[in-house]
Amino acid sequence: MHLTKLELYPTAISVIPGCTPPNLANSTGRNHLTPVTEYLQQRISCQTEGSWLHDSDENIIERVQRGNRELFHVLFERHYDRIAAYIRRSLGDAEEARDAVAEVFVRAYQGVDGFELSAGTRYLTYLYTIAHNLLTDRWRRQGDTRDTEDSAQTEEIADGARLPLEQMLRREMIERVRQSVAKLPPDHQQIIHLAFDRDLSSGDIMQIMNKSSITAVTSHLHRTMKRLKTVLEQDGYFIDATSKGGDSEWQTRKQNASGNS
């Protein structure tokens, strides 16, 4: 039984008071991250002592660094959904994404003592940076070749027939855009996924992607959107910027055989 990664993720996940640790009894022959992954997916809510569930990341990290290791679970619960969504959008494959999310929090816990509170970096930005570096390493090892099959299969609605027509069409548009995004180079995909998180500023993205300036982030995003527009047009769609109630939004429409809308 391989416990290499589990050994890097001790108190915060496996021995929090009131929580059930991952079941290792039947892990023979499975990926060595599977027990951790299963535990992460269960998302067991545990009560920790004091008011730390509502405290800032910085205060929690300070306590964790002083030895109160079980409080790391609060950070995990607080940021899991965001990091998981980012990785799921980037990788597509559900099983690979689960293991990658586990790896991010393994690395975060392993390096928690090295996180410098005085540097002023938000912990969410730090987690995104770990995820970004992990994805970049994976893609580099794979020669930037990945399965670009539609990643939304795991997010499909069970009964689409009950959706209003406008909502169904909007979902179809989103899926088309996702498929086109999957054809972009990894660095273009990542900046799009990061830009979708409204809680991340341009400064955050600059740190996560190790850019030299906010201007560099803006330029990268501009180049990416131009390239995405080209890919959409190659796929038979065109971008139409319309205004409804003062809000501009992007819409895609399928071209017919003659090339007219």
Put simply, whether the predicted model's pTM sits higher than 0.95 gets the answer no
Q: Taking a C-beta distance cutoff of 8 angstroms, is the pair 22, 38 a contact?
A: yes
Provide the mean pLDDT of the chain. 67
How many helices (H) does the chain have, and how many strands (E)? 11, 2
CA distance 218 to 195: 10
**How high is the pLDDT of residue 130?**
92
145 pLDDT above the threshold of 80 = no
Give the HSE-up count for residue 231: Cα atoms under 13 Å, Cβ half-sphere: 18
Q: Which two tokens stand for residue 247?
A: 């809000």
**How high is the pLDDT of residue 197?**
66
Domains of the chain: 1-147 (1.10.1740.10), 166-255 (1.10.10.10)
CA distance 156 to 236: 23
Pairing label, strands 247-254, 237-244: antiparallel
pLDDT band at 127 (very low <50, low <70, confident <90, very high): very high
CA distance 169 to 154: 19
- Each residue's pLDDT tens digit, 181-231: 888 888 888 888 888 766 688 888 888 888 888 888 888 888 888 888 888
**Cα distances (angstroms) measured from residue 189 to each of 21, 101, 181, 182, 184:** 35, 18, 6, 7, 6
CA distance 42 to 73: 13
- Each residue's pLDDT tens digit, 155-185: 333 333 444 555 555 666 667 777 788 888 8
What is the average pLDDT across 80-90? 86
3-state helix vs strand vs coil in the chain, percent to 5: 60, 5, 35
